[in-house]
Structure 1
Amino acid sequence: MSSRGGGGSGSTAASRIRVGRYELGRTIGEGNFAKVKFARNFETGVNVAIKILDKEKVLKNKMIGQIKREISTMKLIRHPNVIRLYEVMASKAKIYIVMEFVNGGELFDKIGSKGKLKEDEARKYFQQLINAVDYCHSRGVFHRDLKPENLLLDSTGVLKVSDFGLSALAQQVREDGLLHTTCGTPNYVAPEVILNKGYDGAKADLWSCGVILFVLMAGYLPFEEPNLVDLYKKITKADFNNPPWFSTSAKKLINRILDPNPEKRITIAELIENEWFKKGYKQPTFEQADVNIDDIDAIFDESGNLENLVVERRQEQTATPVAMNAFELISTSQGLNLSSLFEKQMGLVKRRTRFTSKCPANEIIAKIEQTASPLGFDVTKNNYKLKLQGEKKGRKGQLSVSTEIFEVAPSVHMVELRKAGGDTLEFHKFYKELSTGLKDIVWRSEDDPKEKA
């Protein structure tokens, strides 16, 4: 079964791209150096996510070390609460990292839709997070960018840690036994990382876990200031207050995790014995696997050895919007609940958003272009895909937005906008401004299911 089907409005069959044993589908995420595509193993029928990297960009930006590290890390980790890496392939121009496809959404989405979680539910996710982090540390791997956006849920609600792009293997530790690279997301980063005097990766990861636990139960961050200097001052002093609805035992535990002195901070071994943590705790069961990472160098082999290279086989692209069948539609949703495509989620800052329209595809494209240009965005078109590039430089560089139009039924199109680069909050602000100009063509929006033209 193809991950992209045909049909509707007289459109021809959608173009199919195959790499090795996988058929590629829609883009589900992208950044400066990689795209992540939904794909299907046509031999087994298993759904996967494939991270595709451009070799030339990787080499040009001296990213080989980081990419090898990410792949090595993911191969070393085999745990039920960590995204699984199945295999790595390479063509002459690209690297394909085949990973487990998780379709329950981000844990961040759950906080956004509920405001905050009840203590028992928060504890359940926190226990799974600690199981994953503890296992990573036992394999000599430190994540270094733990935050709700990097915690995914599968369709049964099991937590999966993702995004090892900033992880550090044990061999990167210097002679003083510490890591020295300042990285991570400011609100979640440990004080010792900010101070740039070297830090213990395990203790820094645990601090981030403590911030995550706080966010799960409070619905907001313990350390939040618009000014980075003020934010860092608060973090280094652990200047925060637990909300009154936290139980006494939860407050005590969070205070022990968010201790600005890493030497006094609770360890994971001590945490697992904590009474609040132990309530309803289940140890994970899984098979240990011997993993060889010696073959990773082969994907960067420039010696001309073509024996292990894969070829991207593609048919000519259709000149109509891609028709999205039910299988592909499910892949856009959280779990199997298709209503979440259009349900409102209050206060949620997401990296992608969608709306449906009953207007013709050409009219949708023209309207987006007409609305985006006055907002300071250059528009590049490629069939029924658009790239919107901001002219101004924001907090994390220029905002870049990818737009794609899918046909989900005769005379009904789904339009997806994804942040391809820049800041998520700026993307959210841009979409609000854009959607005002698109109100005439929107039938139903993810932000307002009652909105109709």
Structure 2
Amino acid sequence: MDKKGNILMQRYELGRLLGQGTFAKVYHAKNIKTSQSVAIKLIDKEKVLRVGLIDQIKREISVMRLVRHPNVVQLYEVMASKTKIYFAMEYVKGGELFNKVAKGKLKEEVARKYFQQLIGAVDFCHSREVYHRDIKPENLLLDENGNLKVSDFGLSALGESCRHDGLLHTTCGTPAYVAPEVINKKGYDGAKADIWSCGVVLFVLLAGYLPFQDSNLMEMYRKISRGEFKCPGWFSPEVRKLLVRILDPNPQTRLSIVKIMENPWFKKGYKPVERPQPQKEEGLMIASDVQKAFAQEPSADSSSSASSEKIGMKATCVNAFDIISQSQGFDLSGLFETNKKPKLDSRFTSTKSASAIVSKLEEIAADNERFKVKKKDGLVMLQGKKEGRKGHLSIDAEIFEVTPSFHMVEVKKVSGDTLEYQRFCNQELKPSLKDIVWAWQGGEQPAQ
């Protein structure tokens, strides 16, 4: 049993539900021994395993252990049963900063205080090579003394996540707060992207609305990419100058945190908190927490586990932002590239299961007799058996899970002749997939 009555792991008395998402619920709780209020994040281990989010949970544990700071929500301990993972975290009872902004703009001195605390916390995170990647008022909490606490590191990245070019490449975050270089999908500096989001937060605190707004999402992205925003009349000249330099669409010339902290407007009444020193046993604590979380696996007799074994792979989980950023209608590459090459990929959506999609692709390859099939981590690879005009034709089909009953599949040429690839797609692949395709990207009607 995960809990006996309302007692969790003989340590915490569970209280009311504070919130919930797809994979987790958060409860108010009290430490039985000390009576300290905590927030318990309860994660469904089976769901996490099924959609391949193990690495994300491990990263969240690592990050929260690394960024122990007065203005960051603290992780106290990690516990687990066979079916659940529990995070015991600092309970911040003042609610989201978003709730304050929803009532209207804040006074300049109040907004400045929150911005100072936010920058101090983000600067500390960056010193530990942690990049939040989803800074917004909904992820900024307030304690009973009105102090800001950064929360929700579910989309965060560590410095070791950077590729050989030293940049991050995962498109994530909340569209209205995300930096233009993230939308560009060419790689970005996590620190500079976080700074942009901090600038959007400052604008929202002072204005009561977003700097980049438009009912048309594509037009909003264009404004973001060009840094097109207008400050309302009540903004002081000092704030206007600061925002223009923070919301600079060029990450190379965007103001750094060091420069922000040197800004006269920022420095008014600034009281920096003492930066905690790294703990000697930090690495051991992270390893111990991760081991606790995944030491006991859930039972393997679930239908979802069997399905995953049957297809020998798991579809990658995506969110709405991923779909928007991958959609042809919202492709912003034209804003950044002058010589645009023809696209050699296409996408379709399906209400069929991942296993059904894989089976159909295997069937097409078998009927065609030109391809051999390999499968790995949500990817189906069709590899040509015979050499064509420009070598062997190789095609990847990557399956993304939007919901358990809805998938998106991206098909793209990896190698070989472009004309041969386009001919195969138009004459053989698309007609053969008509029974499982809901819609092809580009506005085709759903298959009947």
TM-score by length of 1: 0.63
Q: 2:177·2:200 contact (CA, 8 Å) conserved in 1?
A: yes
Does 1:249 pair with 2:255? Answer: no
Matched residues in 1 for 2:224 and 2:254: separation? Answer: 14
Q: Deviations over 1:57-99 (max 9, x none)?
A: 1100100000111111001111000000000001111100110
Q: Deviations over 1:124-178 (max 9, x none)?
A: 1000000000000000100000000000000000000000000001110111010
Q: Secondary structure at the match of 1:45?
A: coil
Which position in structure 2 is the counterpart of 1:53?
43
Question: Aligned residues: percent identity?
Answer: 62
Matched residues in 1 for 2:244 and 2:235: separation? Answer: 12
Does 1:282 pair with 2:271? Answer: yes
Matched residues in 2 for 1:294 and 1:301: separation? Answer: 11
Equivalent in 47, 51, 61 of residue 71 of structure 1 = 61
Q: CA RMSD in A?
A: 1.9
Q: Deviations over 1:250-289 (max 9, x none)?
A: 1000000000000010000111101111111111025424
Counterpart amino acid of residue 82 in structure 1: V
Does 1:62 pair with 2:40? Answer: no
Matched residues in 1 for 2:263 and 2:214: separation? Answer: 31
Equivalent in 169, 172, 195 of residue 161 of structure 2 = 172
| Change beyond 3 A, Cα 1:52–1:148 | same
Q: Give, in angstroms, the shift of residue 16 of structure 1.
A: 2.5
Q: Secondary structure at the match of 2:99?
A: helix
Matched residues in 1 for 2:108 and 2:290: separation? Answer: 45
Equivalent in 112, 121, 127 of residue 138 of structure 1 = 127
| Change beyond 3 A, Cα 1:106–1:302 | closer
Q: Secondary structure at the match of 1:36?
A: strand
Higher helix share: 2
Counterpart amino acid of residue 44 in structure 1: T
Q: Give, in angstroms, the shift of residue 240 of structure 1.
A: 0.6
Counterpart amino acid of residue 296 in structure 1: D
| Change beyond 3 A, Cα 1:42–1:302 | closer
Counterpart amino acid of residue 111 in structure 1: V
Matched residues in 1 for 2:296 and 2:110: separation? Answer: 52
Equivalent in 142, 147, 156 of residue 153 of structure 1 = 142
Q: Secondary structure at the match of 2:68?
A: coil
Give the structure, 1 or 2, with the largest relative contact order (CA under 8 Å, sep 6 or more). 1
TM-score by length of 2: 0.64
Counterpart amino acid of residue 31 in structure 2: N
Equivalent in 192, 207, 214 of residue 181 of structure 2 = 192
Does 1:295 pair with 2:288? Answer: yes
Q: Deviations over 1:338-383 (max 9, x none)?
A: xxxxxxxxxxxxxxxxxxxxxxxxxxxxxxxxxxxxxxxxxxxxxx
How many aligned residue pairs are there? Answer: 294
Matched residues in 1 for 2:10 and 2:134: separation? Answer: 32
Does 1:273 pair with 2:262? Answer: yes
Matched residues in 2 for 1:139 and 1:275: separation? Answer: 26
Q: Deviations over 1:311-352 (max 9, x none)?
A: xxxxxxxxxxxxxxxxxxxxxxxxxxxxxxxxxxxxxxxxxx
Identify which range, 260-269 or 289-298, moves more after superposition: 289-298
Counterpart amino acid of residue 88 in structure 2: V
Q: Deviations over 1:411-451 (max 9, x none)?
A: xxxxxxxxxxxxxxxxxxxxxxxxxxxxxxxxxxxxxxxxx
Runs (5+) with no aligned partner, structure 2: 299-401, 405-448
